[in-house]
Amino acid sequence: MSYTARIGPSILSSDLAQLGQECRRMMECGADYLHLDVMDGHFVPNITFGHPMVECLRTAVGPDPFFDMHMMVSRPEQWVKPMAAAGASQYTFHLEATTNPGNLIKEIRESGMKVGLAIKPATTVEELAPWAAQVDMALVMTVEPGFGGQKFMEDMMPKVSWLRSQFPSLDIEVDGGVGPDSIHRCAEAGANMIVSGSAVVSSDDPRSVIALLKNVVMEAIQKRSLDR
Ligand code: DX5
Ligand code: ZN
C-alpha cells in the first residue's frame, strides 16, 4: 500500500478577493495540497478562473504547495500547456470532456504534470477503469460538479470501494460535500485524497477540521493494511 492520507481544501468557497492569502492560510492550517476548481461555464454551469490566476497563486504561495487543478472544462486539451507554465502540479480532467483520454494523458505527462482523471456522478467506474493504471489519481465526484456547498452523494461510495479493490495503490480522491459528517464513509470506502471546500474554509477552526479529516482517513488506511 503506497498511498497516504492527504487533505486538499477547495478554495472555491473562500473570499475570492483574498485568494493568495486564503491559500497560504490553508497550508498553514495543515493542508497537504490545494484543490483548485477551474470552470468554463460550458462543461458546468458556472465560471471560476483560469491559468492567469493560477500563475498569480503560484507566486503568492511559493514553489512547494501541490496544485491539483480540477479542470471542469469542455476542451481540456486546450489548457494543458498554459496550466503547466502557470505552475500547476497535477492536471485532473473529466473523462466526459474528451474523446481521446490516452492522448491527453500523454500530453499532460509530457508537460511535466501529474495526471488526475475525474468522473461525474452519472459516469460509471467501469468507464474509468481502462485508464486507471495510466493515471496518478482517480477522482470520484460526490456532487454534480459546478458549485460548492452541495450535499454529499453517499451512493457514489460503491465506485470508490470498487476502485480501491481493483487498484490497491491508486490515489483515489473524493470531491463534493465532504466534511466531518461524511468523511467516515469516504475513508471506509478507500478514498485517500480528500477535497473539502465549505466544511474547511467556512469553519472558525480550519486546522481542527483538517486534522479530523486526516485522522479518520489515516485510521482507515491502517485498518485496511491490518486486514490484509
Ligand atoms: C464542485 C467542486 C468542488 C467544491 C467542493 O464542483 O469541484 O471542489 O468546491 O466544495 P464543497 O466541499 O463545499 O462541496
Ligand atoms: Zn473540485
Quote the pLDDT of residue 128. 98
Q: What is the dihedral of CA 175, 1, 214, 84, to 10 degrees?
A: -50
Verify whether ligand 1 is closer than 6 Å to residue 13 (CB atom): yes
Output the pLDDT for position 227.
84
Q: What is the per-residue pLDDT for 125?
A: 98
Q: Just list the catalytic residues.
A: 37, 175
Distance in Å, CA 227 to ligand 2 centroid: 31
User: What is the DSSP code (8-state) at residue 167?
Assistant: -
Determine contact, residues 106/98, Cβ cutoff 8 Å. Answer: no
Which cell numbers hold the place of 197? 471546500
Q: Which ligand is nearest to the CA of 145?
A: 1
pLDDT (0 to 100) of residue 195:
98
Mean pLDDT per block of 10 residues along the chain (228 residues) reads: 92 92 98 98 97 98 98 98 98 98 98 99 98 98 98 98 97 98 98 98 97 98 90
Residue nearest to atom 6 of ligand 1 (CA): 145
Task: Give the pLDDT score at 1.
Answer: 61
pLDDT value for 18 = 95
Ligand 1 pocket test, candidate residues 16, 69, 150, most atoms within 8 A of CB? 150
184 annotated ligand-binding residue: no
> Does 70 carry a binding-site annotation?
yes
pTM of the model: 0.98
Please check if 208 is assigned to a binding site. Answer: no
What pLDDT was estimated at residue 113?
99
